[in-house]
Amino acid sequence: MSRDHLAQLREAAPVILPSLLLCDFANLEREVERLLAAGVKALHLDVMDGIFVPNMTYGMPIVAAFRKLTDLPLDVHLMIEKPQQYIRQFHEAGADVITIHAEAVDDVASTLREIHSLGCGAGVAINPDTPVDVIFDALPEADLALMMSVNAGFGGQSFNPVALDKIREVRRINSDVLIEIDGGVNLDTIGRCTEAGADLLVVGSAIFGKPDYITAVRDLNSAAVAAS
Ligand SMILES: O=C(CO)[C@@H](O)[C@H](O)COP(=O)(O)O
Ligand SMILES: [Co+2]
Protein backbone atom coordinates (compact mmCIF):
# COMPACT_ATOMS: atom_id res chain seq x y z
CA MET A 1 0.00 0.00 0.00
CA SER A 2 1.31 3.39 -0.80
CA ARG A 3 2.14 5.74 2.03
CA ASP A 4 -0.78 7.86 0.74
CA HIS A 5 -3.24 5.02 1.27
CA LEU A 6 -2.01 4.45 4.78
CA ALA A 7 -2.16 8.16 5.54
CA GLN A 8 -5.74 8.27 4.21
CA LEU A 9 -6.82 5.43 6.50
CA ARG A 10 -5.12 7.09 9.46
CA GLU A 11 -6.84 10.36 8.63
CA ALA A 12 -10.23 8.67 8.29
CA ALA A 13 -9.98 6.57 11.48
CA PRO A 14 -12.01 4.91 12.83
CA VAL A 15 -12.45 2.93 9.61
CA ILE A 16 -14.63 -0.16 9.17
CA LEU A 17 -13.14 -2.87 6.96
CA PRO A 18 -15.56 -5.56 5.83
CA SER A 19 -14.10 -9.06 6.12
CA LEU A 20 -15.28 -10.89 3.02
CA LEU A 21 -14.99 -14.34 4.59
CA LEU A 22 -18.76 -14.59 4.80
CA CYS A 23 -19.67 -12.86 1.54
CA ASP A 24 -21.45 -14.44 -1.42
CA PHE A 25 -18.54 -15.87 -3.40
CA ALA A 26 -20.88 -16.70 -6.28
CA ASN A 27 -21.39 -12.98 -6.80
CA LEU A 28 -18.27 -11.03 -5.88
CA GLU A 29 -19.01 -8.16 -8.24
CA ARG A 30 -22.39 -7.53 -6.63
CA GLU A 31 -20.88 -7.81 -3.14
CA VAL A 32 -18.25 -5.19 -3.96
CA GLU A 33 -20.91 -2.89 -5.45
CA ARG A 34 -23.01 -3.19 -2.29
CA LEU A 35 -19.99 -2.39 -0.11
CA LEU A 36 -19.05 0.60 -2.25
CA ALA A 37 -22.64 1.85 -1.95
CA ALA A 38 -22.24 1.55 1.83
CA GLY A 39 -19.19 3.81 1.63
CA VAL A 40 -16.52 1.38 2.82
CA LYS A 41 -12.93 2.60 2.43
CA ALA A 42 -10.98 -0.68 2.30
CA LEU A 43 -11.57 -4.45 2.15
CA HIS A 44 -10.17 -7.11 4.50
CA LEU A 45 -9.36 -10.46 2.86
CA ASP A 46 -8.80 -13.52 5.05
CA VAL A 47 -6.40 -16.14 3.68
CA MET A 48 -6.35 -19.46 5.61
CA ASP A 49 -4.32 -22.56 4.81
CA GLY A 50 -5.85 -25.31 6.96
CA ILE A 51 -2.51 -25.67 8.81
CA PHE A 52 -1.87 -22.46 10.72
CA VAL A 53 -5.62 -22.38 11.37
CA PRO A 54 -8.12 -25.25 11.20
CA ASN A 55 -9.97 -23.76 8.25
CA MET A 56 -9.28 -23.03 4.58
CA THR A 57 -10.45 -20.11 2.50
CA TYR A 58 -8.76 -18.87 -0.65
CA GLY A 59 -5.46 -17.64 -2.05
CA MET A 60 -4.03 -15.35 -4.69
CA PRO A 61 -6.68 -15.85 -7.43
CA ILE A 62 -9.45 -14.46 -5.25
CA VAL A 63 -7.27 -11.54 -4.11
CA ALA A 64 -6.60 -10.86 -7.81
CA ALA A 65 -10.34 -11.03 -8.52
CA PHE A 66 -11.05 -8.36 -5.89
CA ARG A 67 -8.18 -6.30 -7.34
CA LYS A 68 -9.95 -6.36 -10.71
CA LEU A 69 -13.25 -5.34 -9.14
CA THR A 70 -12.14 -2.33 -7.11
CA ASP A 71 -9.46 0.26 -6.45
CA LEU A 72 -10.18 0.16 -2.71
CA PRO A 73 -7.13 -0.74 -0.60
CA LEU A 74 -6.93 -4.52 -0.04
CA ASP A 75 -5.88 -5.50 3.46
CA VAL A 76 -4.77 -9.14 3.22
CA HIS A 77 -4.71 -11.08 6.51
CA LEU A 78 -2.49 -14.13 6.06
CA MET A 79 -3.40 -16.94 8.46
CA ILE A 80 -0.88 -19.33 6.93
CA GLU A 81 2.37 -21.06 7.83
CA LYS A 82 5.57 -19.84 6.20
CA PRO A 83 3.98 -16.62 4.93
CA GLN A 84 7.39 -15.41 3.65
CA GLN A 85 7.10 -17.95 0.81
CA TYR A 86 3.94 -16.32 -0.54
CA ILE A 87 4.36 -12.59 0.15
CA ARG A 88 5.52 -11.77 -3.38
CA GLN A 89 2.61 -13.64 -4.94
CA PHE A 90 0.07 -11.84 -2.76
CA HIS A 91 1.71 -8.54 -3.66
CA GLU A 92 1.49 -9.42 -7.38
CA ALA A 93 -2.17 -10.43 -6.90
CA GLY A 94 -2.87 -6.88 -5.75
CA ALA A 95 -2.56 -6.78 -1.95
CA ASP A 96 -1.92 -3.29 -0.57
CA VAL A 97 -1.30 -4.30 3.04
CA ILE A 98 -0.02 -7.77 3.92
CA THR A 99 -0.43 -8.85 7.54
CA ILE A 100 1.39 -11.90 8.84
CA HIS A 101 0.88 -13.63 12.20
CA ALA A 102 3.75 -13.32 14.68
CA GLU A 103 3.04 -16.94 15.66
CA ALA A 104 3.80 -18.09 12.09
CA VAL A 105 7.32 -16.68 11.64
CA ASP A 106 10.65 -16.86 13.46
CA ASP A 107 11.62 -13.27 12.79
CA VAL A 108 8.72 -10.81 12.64
CA ALA A 109 10.80 -7.70 11.93
CA SER A 110 12.63 -9.20 8.95
CA THR A 111 9.36 -10.52 7.47
CA LEU A 112 7.87 -7.02 7.76
CA ARG A 113 10.95 -5.61 6.03
CA GLU A 114 10.48 -8.13 3.21
CA ILE A 115 6.87 -6.97 2.77
CA HIS A 116 8.00 -3.34 2.69
CA SER A 117 10.68 -4.12 0.14
CA LEU A 118 7.90 -5.05 -2.30
CA GLY A 119 6.18 -1.72 -1.75
CA CYS A 120 3.30 -3.09 0.35
CA GLY A 121 2.12 -1.93 3.74
CA ALA A 122 3.24 -4.41 6.41
CA GLY A 123 1.16 -5.66 9.32
CA VAL A 124 1.71 -8.00 12.24
CA ALA A 125 -1.14 -9.90 13.93
CA ILE A 126 -1.37 -11.76 17.22
CA ASN A 127 -3.98 -14.21 18.48
CA PRO A 128 -5.71 -13.69 21.84
CA ASP A 129 -3.35 -16.10 23.69
CA THR A 130 -0.17 -14.46 22.38
CA PRO A 131 1.32 -11.88 24.77
CA VAL A 132 1.53 -8.45 23.21
CA ASP A 133 5.19 -7.95 24.12
CA VAL A 134 6.09 -10.56 21.48
CA ILE A 135 5.67 -7.84 18.84
CA PHE A 136 7.16 -4.85 20.66
CA ASP A 137 10.58 -5.11 19.01
CA ALA A 138 9.03 -5.38 15.55
CA LEU A 139 6.61 -2.46 15.89
CA PRO A 140 9.01 0.12 14.39
CA GLU A 141 8.89 -1.97 11.18
CA ALA A 142 5.08 -2.26 11.17
CA ASP A 143 2.51 -0.02 9.50
CA LEU A 144 -0.27 -1.95 11.19
CA ALA A 145 -0.67 -4.03 14.36
CA LEU A 146 -3.65 -6.40 14.32
CA MET A 147 -5.00 -7.51 17.68
CA MET A 148 -7.21 -10.58 17.20
CA SER A 149 -10.30 -10.60 19.38
CA VAL A 150 -11.08 -14.21 18.41
CA ASN A 151 -8.78 -17.13 17.63
CA ALA A 152 -7.93 -16.77 13.96
CA GLY A 153 -9.78 -19.23 11.78
CA PHE A 154 -13.50 -18.55 11.62
CA GLY A 155 -15.99 -15.74 11.28
CA GLY A 156 -18.93 -15.42 13.63
CA GLN A 157 -17.09 -16.06 16.93
CA SER A 158 -17.64 -14.14 20.18
CA PHE A 159 -15.52 -11.10 20.98
CA ASN A 160 -12.61 -11.67 23.39
CA PRO A 161 -11.90 -8.42 25.29
CA VAL A 162 -8.26 -9.41 25.90
CA ALA A 163 -7.54 -7.52 22.64
CA LEU A 164 -8.57 -4.21 24.22
CA ASP A 165 -5.75 -4.11 26.77
CA LYS A 166 -3.30 -5.07 24.02
CA ILE A 167 -4.49 -2.12 21.92
CA ARG A 168 -3.75 0.22 24.82
CA GLU A 169 -0.32 -1.35 25.33
CA VAL A 170 0.61 -1.03 21.65
CA ARG A 171 -0.48 2.59 21.59
CA ARG A 172 1.47 3.30 24.79
CA ILE A 173 4.73 2.19 23.23
CA ASN A 174 4.16 3.25 19.61
CA SER A 175 2.21 6.36 18.65
CA ASP A 176 2.48 5.86 14.87
CA VAL A 177 1.35 2.33 14.06
CA LEU A 178 -2.22 1.81 12.83
CA ILE A 179 -4.05 -0.48 15.24
CA GLU A 180 -6.59 -2.93 13.86
CA ILE A 181 -8.96 -5.26 15.70
CA ASP A 182 -10.55 -8.34 14.14
CA GLY A 183 -13.11 -10.82 15.41
CA GLY A 184 -16.56 -10.49 16.95
CA VAL A 185 -16.73 -6.76 16.24
CA ASN A 186 -20.39 -5.78 16.09
CA LEU A 187 -22.78 -3.07 17.32
CA ASP A 188 -22.36 -4.24 20.93
CA THR A 189 -18.55 -4.35 20.91
CA ILE A 190 -17.36 -1.76 18.40
CA GLY A 191 -17.54 1.16 20.85
CA ARG A 192 -15.15 -0.59 23.25
CA CYS A 193 -12.70 -1.06 20.38
CA THR A 194 -12.53 2.59 19.37
CA GLU A 195 -12.55 3.70 22.99
CA ALA A 196 -9.44 1.56 23.53
CA GLY A 197 -7.78 3.19 20.52
CA ALA A 198 -8.44 0.93 17.54
CA ASP A 199 -8.12 2.76 14.20
CA LEU A 200 -9.27 -0.06 11.91
CA LEU A 201 -12.25 -2.27 12.72
CA VAL A 202 -12.65 -5.53 10.81
CA VAL A 203 -16.28 -6.65 10.63
CA GLY A 204 -17.57 -9.86 9.06
CA SER A 205 -20.86 -11.31 10.27
CA ALA A 206 -22.20 -7.99 11.57
CA ILE A 207 -22.25 -6.80 7.93
CA PHE A 208 -22.65 -9.96 5.83
CA GLY A 209 -25.26 -11.39 8.20
CA LYS A 210 -27.48 -8.36 7.59
CA PRO A 211 -29.82 -7.83 4.66
CA ASP A 212 -28.82 -4.20 4.13
CA TYR A 213 -25.09 -3.34 4.12
CA ILE A 214 -25.72 0.41 3.94
CA THR A 215 -27.63 0.42 7.24
CA ALA A 216 -25.21 -2.05 8.86
CA VAL A 217 -22.11 0.00 7.98
CA ARG A 218 -23.79 3.29 8.89
CA ASP A 219 -24.86 2.04 12.34
CA LEU A 220 -21.46 0.48 13.05
CA ASN A 221 -19.74 3.66 11.97
CA SER A 222 -21.91 5.83 14.21
CA ALA A 223 -21.22 3.59 17.21
CA ALA A 224 -17.48 3.57 16.44
CA VAL A 225 -17.25 7.34 16.07
CA ALA A 226 -19.38 8.04 19.16
CA ALA A 227 -16.96 6.10 21.37
CA SER A 228 -13.70 7.25 19.78
O1 LIG B 1 -9.67 -13.12 10.52
C2 LIG B 1 -10.81 -13.39 10.81
C3 LIG B 1 -11.15 -14.72 11.42
O4 LIG B 1 -10.01 -15.45 11.58
C5 LIG B 1 -11.84 -12.36 10.64
O6 LIG B 1 -11.47 -11.38 9.70
C7 LIG B 1 -13.27 -12.76 10.61
O8 LIG B 1 -13.69 -13.14 9.33
C9 LIG B 1 -14.17 -11.66 11.10
O10 LIG B 1 -15.47 -12.12 11.13
P11 LIG B 1 -16.46 -11.74 12.35
O12 LIG B 1 -15.82 -12.22 13.63
O13 LIG B 1 -16.61 -10.25 12.32
O14 LIG B 1 -17.73 -12.46 12.02
CO1 LIG C 1 -9.18 -11.28 9.41
- HEC states along the chain? CCHHHHHHHHHHCCEEEEEHHHCCCCCHHHHHHHHHHCCCCCEEEEEEECCCCCCECCCHHHHHHHHHHCCCCEEEEEECCCHHHCHHHHHHHCCCEEEEEHHHCCCHHHHHHHHHHCCCEEEEEECCCCCHHHHHHHHHHCCEEEEECCCCCCCCCCCCCHHHHHHHHHHHHCCCCEEEEECCCCCCCHHHHHHHCCCEEEECHHHHCCCCHHHHHHHHHHHHHHHC
What pLDDT shows up at residue 2?
A: 56
- Assess whether pLDDT exceeds 90 at residue 6: no
Active-site residue, selected from the candidate residues 133, 182, 199, 212: 182
> Tell me, what's the ipTM?
0.98
Task: Read off the pLDDT of residues 162-194 as tens digits, 9 standing for 90 and up.
Answer: 999 999 999 999 999 999 999 999 999 999 999
Distance 182 CA to ligand 1 centre (A): 6
Distance 44 CA to ligand 2 centre (A): 7
> Does the annotation count 24 as an active-site position?
no
